[in-house]
A = this chain, B = another copy of it.
Amino acid sequence: MSNKRTKNQEQILKLINNNSEEMSAQNLHFQIQQHGLRIGLATVYRTLKLLKIEGEIQERVTPDGESFYSTINSVYHHYHHLNCVNCGKSYPMNICPLSQKITDWCHSQKFKVYYHTLEFFGLCAACQDQDIASECLSAN
């Protein structure tokens, strides 16, 4: 295992670990520049790919295709969401209904589980009170 990281990679991992919010690659690159560091965008993406494979960080892909990254080790980030398919808002739910039994089963499949995602999709209360279907395409 090549478990030795470069300075750039360490910086990026530290930034993710120290941040309480999940971050996109673009956002991460911007913050790096704010800190006066000079790490190219390509390196950010390469490092995220590496850290992901090493099981250090987790990835959440939003419906519009952008990826957000956060540390796996923080309990704080183990959230699932109720996602409105209309307005796109995500409502975090601070419970995880997965029993230990299921986790064990996954491991028994010879699959090494780093983390899991559980997302619910539907309409939030606000959007249920609208004639959303007719508004859906009108923006065009």
Which A positions have Cβ atoms within 8 angstroms of B? 1-3, 46, 49-50, 52-55, 58-59, 61-63, 65-67, 82, 84-86, 91, 93, 95, 97-99, 101-102, 105-106, 109-125, 128, 131-134, 136-137, 140
Give the number of times this chain occurs in the complex, counting copies: 2
Main secondary structure of the interface of A (DSSP, over half): mixed
Task: Tell me whether B53 and A85 are in contact (CB under 8 A).
Answer: yes
CA distance A13 to B83 in the complex (A): 22
Cβ-neighbour of A117 out of B82, B117, B125 (below 8 A) = B117
Contact call A50/B133, Cβ cutoff below 8 A: yes
Q: Is the CB of A122 within 8 A of B114?
A: yes
Q: In the bound complex, do residue A61 and residue B61 qualify as a contact, i.e. CB atoms below 8 Å apart?
A: yes
